[in-house]
Amino acid sequence: MVILSFVIYLALLLAIGYFAYRCTDSFSGYLIGGRRVGALPAALSAGASDMSGWLLLVLPGIAMMNGYSSFWIAGALLLGTWLNWLLIAPRLRVYSLEAGDSLTLPAYFENRFGDSSGVLRTVSALIILLFSLFYLCAGMIAAGLLLETAFGINFSLAVLLCGLAVLCYTQLGGFLAVSWSDVLQSLIMLFTLILVPWLLIDAMGGIDLSLAQVSSRNPDLLNALTDAEGQTLTFMSLLGTLGLGLGYFGQPHILTRFLAIRSQTSVSIARRIAVIWTGFCLTGACLIGIAAIGYLPARPEQSDTVFVIVTQALFNPVVAGALVIAVLAAIMSTVDSQLLTSASTVSEDLYRALFNRPASQTLLIKAGRRSVLALALIAMILAMDSESPILEWVGYAWAGLGAAFGPALIGSLYWKRMNLFGALTGMLCGAVTVIYWKQNSGAMFELYELFPGIAAATVGIVVVSLITPSPGSELQRLFEKVQASVK
């Protein structure tokens, strides 16, 4: 029955891919859905592609280990989601259209700053490929481990099955296939993250008894300002945690949804949907981990298996196995988005930079599908090592993309004086700082590499923009036109 549910789920994804294939007749449609994606699919697709298996595997484990202090992470991510839709989405939707109808983030930067050399577009494309590959591999490893643990499928075979499934519907239908499948996957995730904590707390006799059992294990876990050892959280640790939300401003797989959304009016509707969905999902994931402290007789050896262990204890094997599909949905929703974003970078940005010649819509779509195939195969090969640190890779990619593109994007949308040299400096400073900080284990402070990366990028953008010539009058008029048209 469980295997049948899994097969039906994959069949649905392939059906979505085929239907999207029939609806895709242009390169713009393949990359960003022809800018006609509605508020609901844009919001749910952005949320599902953001959260991934981290939401159901890692966050409950963090909550089980740290108790109430895990809500700092949830709060930072919820705030980041809201600010991203509020500050970035409306302007980026308008600016990307006005600046040469840009279909990707690198194309937007090139057109926004009038870079005729192609350097800015190439550098930003290479940064996306570098860090997105970590995301892709981490997602496929997580999917493989999940299927191996839940269904006893050989790890390598599990990676191959998930990789091929994502490859098929992404290659067929492009952005529409990814968005529509993300809607299905996000609804599965939402249902699971409401049902499981509710039934778990009910099985323990209600919220009061649940918290009493947690307190009996370790009362420090019910204090949001202390860790599991009773030590007060330091300012630097809180700063690093809250800084997670800043990473949203530079994630191409999320920002692409802003390019694709139908209208400015749809942006405000999508923002509300995204915040509500994210709030429910983050709260549910934290509650599962906190309630599991008292429910499970002992902590599992690997904290990221707590969701699977809880569902196996609460439900019969058939239902528990079906709920594992929610985790698989979360993982696949990010893998498909990262895969399409990376392939778009190759086919739209690097292809144009390298060959610099006109191409038909049919040729560009073929290039996009071939890029999806090549990148999926590379990721599957690299993901065959089950010992790779999933959480570390995801955190590295989040920091690298957030630092390289977050400050540059905010500056491009809000600061008329920012120029090409500042944008290029900011991207390089952000990416290099993250790599250096990571390789040197936090450099001088035990601080997540995203925070120093953003700081370095911001300083680089401001200083270099101010000491180099102002943007030309045409670029400044375009900036003013966009600011006037954003509601």
Give pLDDT tens digits for 108-133. 999 999 998 889 999 999 999 888 88
pLDDT attached to residue 152: 77
d(CA 467, CA 473): 18
In sign, the C-alpha dihedral spanning 11, 12, 15, 20 is negative
Ranges 28-32, 67-71, 76-80, 126-130: which has the least confidence = 28-32
> 206-221 burial, b if ≥16 CB within 10 A, otherwise e?
eeeebbeebeeeeebb
Is it the case that residue 360 has pLDDT exceeding 70? Answer: no
d(CA 395, CA 69): 19
pLDDT attached to residue 381: 85
pLDDT attached to residue 137: 83
Mean pLDDT of the chain: 86
- Confirm if 179 and 260 have CB atoms less than 8 A apart: yes
- Confirm if 244 and 447 have CB atoms less than 8 A apart: no
pLDDT attached to residue 432: 95
Task: Provide the token pair at 196.
Answer: 């499981």
pLDDT attached to residue 352: 65
CATH, domain 2-391, list 3.50.50.60, 1.20.1730.10, 3.40.50.300, 3.90.180.10: 1.20.1730.10
Is it the case that residue 392 has pLDDT exceeding 60? Answer: yes
Is it the case that residue 169 has pLDDT exceeding 60? Answer: yes
Is it the case that residue 315 has pLDDT exceeding 90? Answer: no
Q: Domain extents for the chain?
A: 2-391
pLDDT attached to residue 339: 83
Given phi > 0 = left and psi -120 to 50 = alpha, else beta, which region is 33?
left
Q: Residue 229: pLDDT band by 50, 70, 90 thresholds?
A: confident
Average pLDDT over residues 314-321: 81
Side chain identity at residue 379, one-letter code? A
Is it the case that residue 240 has pLDDT exceeding 80? Answer: no
